[in-house]
Structure 1
Amino acid sequence: MPRIAVVGLRGMTNVIGGIETHCRNLYPALASKRPDFDITIYQRNAYHHENASLPPNLTVRPIWAPKRRAAEAFLHTLFAILAASLNVRPRILHIHAIGPGLWTPLARLLGMRVIVTIHARDYDRPKWSWPIAAGLKLGENLSCRFANAVVCVSQAGLQDISARYPRHTARFHAIPHGLDPPLDPDGAGAGVFDELGVQPGRYLLAVGRFDRTKRFHDLVCARQALRKEAMPLVIVGSGVGDHEVFTDLVDDGVVLAGSRFGDELVQLYRNASLFIHPSQMEGFGLVVLEALNTGIPIALSDLPQHREFGLADHCYFKVGDIAAISKIMAHQHHAAFRPALSPSALMQFTHAGMVEKYEQLIEEIGFDEENRP
């Protein structure tokens, strides 16, 4: 049974974040589709929760790491790779993100074939000091040079690294995130509206980690400029190191909903008057795909990654343009921002398509004689 080890995520259960959501969507489905794959996911001990619903060939193992923002991912990945080498001896190591990608050469030296998924240019995040940003850039460099395959989660990301690492483009791939429309919760989770004090169909919604690059502060400023003229703004998410940035967000008409999952999150998406995402940088924009799959009106910052969703021009606004955001919030008919995408346009973002592409890549890297390290 081919062995695959996975590193780079914080946790598989009830952890908000693009990488974590991606892993929850990918690995259980991949394990179910391919019972001949033996998949072991190494997550950080602080985020470990038992999950009895996983396929029998998918194991989640907690590994200790220090709870320090700059060192946690770096050291956890090292410990996980060493543990995998000693205990699991995987044929393939799947690394998520460029910080953990620093250890790509070590994994190759230990005989593993490595896939690195680059989720974003993390060194562009303003929270990092220049030494940490330099380390993240080095992680990207080592990933692109030494991995057997590098996966970008958007075409914009693929074009970016292809332009900067032209000697290695033969090993670069684009596999966008994939989701299926959520099942109708049929009333389950509807208590969240009373809990938050909002009415279905009468609130604006933003979802994501409390990170400076998400620019939720732009939404708050835009809503404050409208005063009572705008609907309540519900922000779903939690902070990972940057929570202090949003301590001033609690205001009349701004509701910090915390982390929400499952039926509650589906209810919040489906009943929003408008989903708005003002981010200044994205690797893909997984929360946008979640919103698309519920069919609600959407407004996005004008990023190349967001343009890949193919919305109408009026659904985009310039990053940081608070006046434009206010105008969208105050629009009398948010239905004008409802995406009019054909089924074929959404086919590139299906869950089954994402799983199949990773399955093919694993077979190519793990079983092709020409790709042996």
Structure 2
Amino acid sequence: MIRIFVTGLRGIPDVMGGVESHCEALYPRLQRLSSAVEITVVGRVPYVDAAKTRVAGLTVKGVPAVRSTSLEAISSTLLAVLYARLRRADIVHIHAIGPALTTGIARMLGLKVVVTHHGKDYARGKWGRLAKAMLKRGERAAMRHAHRVICVSPSLREELVSAFPEAAGRTVYIPNGVPGAAVAGDTARAEADRVLAAHGARDGEFVLAVGRLVPEKGFDTLIDAANRMASPPKLLIVGGSEHRSSYAERLTRKAGPQVRFAGMLPREVVFELQRRTALFVMPSFHEGLPIAALEAADAGAPLLLSDIAANRDLGLAPVNYFPVGDVDALVAALAQPPRCYAVDADAVRDRFDWNRIAAETLRVYEAFVP
């Protein structure tokens, strides 16, 4: 039996965030794939329901965390690593480079360590100089000390191998995946009806964006573009900010009457909105491999994405991309009929299949644990 402890995430189920979506999709599949693994997800107390100790075949445990933007992830991950050691874990799997600061400690404790690098978090606008330096140190710790580093996009792996050539043999590309055949139930459909009615939007006549209200998501670019249009579409932004944010407040102030904020919503409701939207837009300056865009493709939504490397890694047609941060280009793109941005959902599902991703991740574990 391989005892795997997963940490670095806030928690599951239904916690908003790319890492959380990744883990919630991956680990139940991996658990079902092999009776030789036992998986425990160690999240953070504010996000983990103490009554839900079992989720989709996984054991879920919450540990305390400092409620601070800069200290929450590292404090909880350190406790999670110690907990994993006490519980005689074979492998601790750390997600994201901030939590990866604990990689060396985990090695000192005798644990096998896998790190999933979800993206260059130090490129995010919300971090100050000290935080960015610590994130880079976390990346360096992962590349130097982890037994395996999983990168969620091929462009990310190329950059890391170039910067850390000594880690090339320990660094692999395994992508995020498409959820696959999600179907919203009656409750989710009713909630989507309520959300659209509350914001004056109708099926097939609104543009949708999904993500946390943080600078790297580029929602200010999208709002500026909508404000410049003579006849802007109804723009619905789904997501919130975990802590009080001057950026989120600035977005609210600059938004015109056609821009509406729906806040954080359950994934089933988000999927239903993706299914009904005229166009899904992701104007990000930074992503790992964008799960929200994969989910929108799965729902059948046309996609318009910024042309950053992580978004281009989805392999869509050139028409589906616009120059990142270019408001004029986005205005021109939004003026086109949404059908111009239709994607081949089946091709996306085949390329980013979670079942295959789970099998590849299992092989990573089995490669260095007998």
**Shift of residue 32, structure 1, vs aligned partner:** 2.0
**Code of the aligned partner of 1:158:** R
Q: Is the 8 A contact 2:9 2:19 kept in 1?
A: yes
**Shift of residue 365, structure 1, vs aligned partner:** 2.4
Which whole-Å CA distance do the structure 1 matches of 2:136 and 2:93 have between them?
Answer: 19
**Shift of residue 31, structure 1, vs aligned partner:** 1.4
**Shift of residue 53, structure 1, vs aligned partner:** 6.3
Residue 198 of structure 1 corresponds to 201
Which whole-Å CA distance do the structure 1 matches of 2:296 and 2:359 have between them?
Answer: 23
Aligned pairs (5 A) from 1:36-55: 36-49=36-49, 50-51=51-52, 54-55=55-56
Which whole-Å CA distance do the structure 2 matches of 1:330 and 1:287 have between them?
Answer: 23
Residue 28 of structure 1 corresponds to 28
**Shift of residue 347, structure 1, vs aligned partner:** 2.0
**Shift of residue 269, structure 1, vs aligned partner:** 0.3
Aligned pairs (5 A) from 1:124-163: 124-163=123-162
Q: Is the 8 A contact 1:178 1:353 kept in 2?
A: no
Give the SS at the match of 2:55.
Answer: coil
Give the SS at the match of 1:61.
Answer: strand
Which whole-Å CA distance do the structure 1 matches of 2:104 and 2:185 have between them?
Answer: 49
Which whole-Å CA distance do the structure 1 matches of 2:53 and 2:202 have between them?
Answer: 35
Which whole-Å CA distance do the structure 2 matches of 1:316 and 1:360 have between them?
Answer: 34
- Provide Cα deviations, 1:71-96, integer angstroms capped at 9, x if missing partner: 1111111111112211x110001000
Which whole-Å CA distance do the structure 1 matches of 2:19 and 2:76 have between them?
Answer: 15
**Code of the aligned partner of 2:245:** H
Residue 75 of structure 1 corresponds to 75
**Shift of residue 267, structure 1, vs aligned partner:** 1.2
Which whole-Å CA distance do the structure 1 matches of 2:53 and 2:84 have between them?
Answer: 22
Q: Is the 8 A contact 1:210 1:239 kept in 2?
A: yes
Aligned pair count reads 362
Aligned pairs (5 A) from 1:75-224: 75-86=75-86, 88-185=87-184, 187-191=186-190, 192=192, 193-224=196-227
Q: Is the 8 A contact 1:4 1:93 kept in 2?
A: yes
- Provide Cα deviations, 1:179-224, integer angstroms capped at 9, x if missing partner: 2433333654233222433101010000111110001011111111
Residue 11 of structure 2 corresponds to 11
Residue 371 of structure 1 corresponds to none
Give the SS at the match of 1:201.
Answer: coil
**Code of the aligned partner of 1:22:** H
Q: Is the 8 A contact 2:212 2:239 kept in 1?
A: yes
What's the % identity of the aligned pairs? 34
Give the SS at the match of 1:62.
Answer: strand
Which whole-Å CA distance do the structure 2 matches of 1:216 and 1:180 have between them?
Answer: 24
- Provide Cα deviations, 1:254-280, integer angstroms capped at 9, x if missing partner: 111111224311210011100011101
**Shift of residue 293, structure 1, vs aligned partner:** 1.0
Which whole-Å CA distance do the structure 2 matches of 1:23 and 1:242 have between them?
Answer: 26
Cα 1:344–1:183 change in 2 (3 A) is closer
Residue 264 of structure 1 corresponds to 269
- Provide Cα deviations, 1:14-55, integer angstroms capped at 9, x if missing partner: 211100100110111211222331111111111112447624
**Shift of residue 335, structure 1, vs aligned partner:** 0.4
Which whole-Å CA distance do the structure 1 matches of 2:119 and 2:182 have between them?
Answer: 29
Residue 326 of structure 1 corresponds to 331
Which whole-Å CA distance do the structure 2 matches of 1:89 and 1:299 have between them?
Answer: 46
Residue 239 of structure 2 corresponds to 237
Cα 1:291–1:258 change in 2 (3 A) is same
Structure 1 stretches of 4+ with a deviation exceeding 6 A read none
> What residue ranges of structure 2 are gaps of 5+ in the alignment?
none
Which whole-Å CA distance do the structure 2 matches of 1:257 and 1:312 have between them?
Answer: 30
Which has the higher mean CA deviation after the structures are superposed, 195-204 or 153-162?
195-204
**Shift of residue 131, structure 1, vs aligned partner:** 1.6
Residue 259 of structure 2 corresponds to 254
Which whole-Å CA distance do the structure 1 matches of 2:258 and 2:314 have between them?
Answer: 30
Residue 354 of structure 1 corresponds to 357
Give the SS at the match of 2:180.
Answer: coil
Q: Is the 8 A contact 1:210 1:242 kept in 2?
A: no
Which whole-Å CA distance do the structure 1 matches of 2:4 and 2:161 have between them?
Answer: 27
Which whole-Å CA distance do the structure 1 matches of 2:305 and 2:24 have between them?
Answer: 25
Which whole-Å CA distance do the structure 1 matches of 2:180 and 2:39 have between them?
Answer: 26
**Code of the aligned partner of 2:216:** T
Which whole-Å CA distance do the structure 2 matches of 1:123 and 1:209 have between them?
Answer: 16
**Shift of residue 340, structure 1, vs aligned partner:** 3.8
Q: TM-score by structure 2 length? A: 0.93
